[in-house]
Structure 1
Amino acid sequence: MRNGLRMIGVTGVVALGIGLAGCASDGGSGSEGGSEGAAEDITVGVAMPTETSERWIADGEAVESQLEEAGYEVDLQFANDDIPTQQQQLDQMITNGADILIVASIDGTALATQLENAAGKGIPIIAYDRLINGTENVDFYVTFDNYTVGVQQAQSLLRGLGYLDENYEETGLDEEKIIEVFAGSPDDNNATFFYNGAMDTLKPFLDDGRLTIGSGQDDFDTVSTLRWDQATAQKRMEDLLTSTYDGGSKPLDGVLSPYDGISRGIITALDNAGYGATIEAGLPVVSGQDAEIASVKMIRDGVQYATIFKDTRKLATQAVAAASAYAEGEEPEANDTESYDNGLKVVPSFLLESDIVVSDNIGELLVDSGYWTEDEIEAGVAE
Structure 2
Amino acid sequence: MKKIFSLLLVAVLAMALFVGCTPKSDSGDGGDDSSGGSGEGKTVGVAMPTQSSERWIKDGDNMKSQLEELGYKVDLQYAEDDPQQQVSQLENMLASGVDCLVVAAIDSQALINPLKQAKDAGVPVVAYDRLLMDTDAVSYYATFDNKGIGTAIGSYVEEKLDLANATETYTFELFMGSPDDNNAYMLYDGLMEVIQPYIDKGTLVCKSGQTSFEKSNTLRWDQQTAMRRCEDILSSYYADEKLDIAFSAYDGLSYGVKAACEGAGYKVGAEDWPVITGQDAELMAVKNIIAGSQTMSIAKDTRILAEKCVKMVEAVLKGTEPEINDTEQYDNGKLVVPSYLCEPQPVDKDNYKEILVDTEYYTEAEINEE
How far 1:206 moved relative to its partner? Answer: 0.9
Aligned to 1:262: 253
TM-superposition CA deviations, 1:286-307 (whole Å, max 9, x none): 0000000111001011110000
The answer on whether the counterparts of 2:179 and 2:217 sit within 8 Å (CA) in structure 1 is yes
TM-superposition CA deviations, 1:185-211 (whole Å, max 9, x none): 000010000000001110111111111
Structure 2 Cα separation of the partners of residues 177 and 217 of structure 1:
15
Which of these two proteins has the greater Rg computed from alpha carbons?
A: 2
| 1:352 alignment partner AA | C
How far 1:276 moved relative to its partner? Answer: 1.2
The answer on whether the counterparts of 1:143 and 1:351 sit within 8 Å (CA) in structure 2 is yes
TM-superposition CA deviations, 1:163-185 (whole Å, max 9, x none): 3xxxxxx5x23321111111100
Structure 1 Cα separation of the partners of residues 310 and 198 of structure 2:
41
How far 1:40 moved relative to its partner? Answer: 4.2
Aligned to 1:69: 69
Aligned to 2:116: 116
The answer to which of 39-48 and 125-134 deviates more is: 39-48
Q: CA distance change for structure 1 residues 35 and 174 in 2, over 3 Å: closer, same or farther?
A: farther
How far 1:378 moved relative to its partner? Answer: 1.5
Q: CA distance change for structure 1 residues 212 and 36 in 2, over 3 Å: closer, same or farther?
A: same
Q: CA distance change for structure 1 residues 36 and 240 in 2, over 3 Å: closer, same or farther?
A: same
The answer on whether the counterparts of 1:367 and 1:373 sit within 8 Å (CA) in structure 2 is yes
How far 1:36 moved relative to its partner? Answer: 5.6
> Structure 2 unaligned runs (5+)?
1-18, 30-37
The answer on whether the counterparts of 2:172 and 2:206 sit within 8 Å (CA) in structure 1 is yes
How far 1:325 moved relative to its partner? Answer: 1.1
Structure 1 Cα separation of the partners of residues 42 and 136 of structure 2:
24
Structure 2 Cα separation of the partners of residues 77 and 256 of structure 1:
32
TM-score by length of 1: 0.87
How far 1:86 moved relative to its partner? Answer: 0.3
Aligned to 2:333: 343
Alignment of 1:181-196 (within 5 A): 181-196=174-189
Aligned to 1:90: 90
The answer on whether the counterparts of 1:157 and 1:255 sit within 8 Å (CA) in structure 2 is no
The answer on whether the counterparts of 1:160 and 1:305 sit within 8 Å (CA) in structure 2 is no
How far 1:39 moved relative to its partner? Answer: 2.1
Matched, 1:295 2:288: no
Partner secondary structure for residue 195 of structure 2: helix
Q: CA distance change for structure 1 residues 72 and 30 in 2, over 3 Å: closer, same or farther?
A: farther
Paired-residue identity, %: 47
TM-score by length of 2: 0.89
How far 1:344 moved relative to its partner? Answer: 1.1
2:202 counterpart (199, 209, 218): 209
| 2:356 alignment partner AA | L
| 1:264 alignment partner AA | Y
The answer on whether the counterparts of 1:290 and 1:308 sit within 8 Å (CA) in structure 2 is yes
Structure 1 Cα separation of the partners of residues 215 and 362 of structure 2:
35
Partner secondary structure for residue 39 of structure 2: helix
TM-superposition CA deviations, 1:296-334 (whole Å, max 9, x none): 001011110000001111000001010111222223332
1:178 counterpart (158, 171, 176): 171
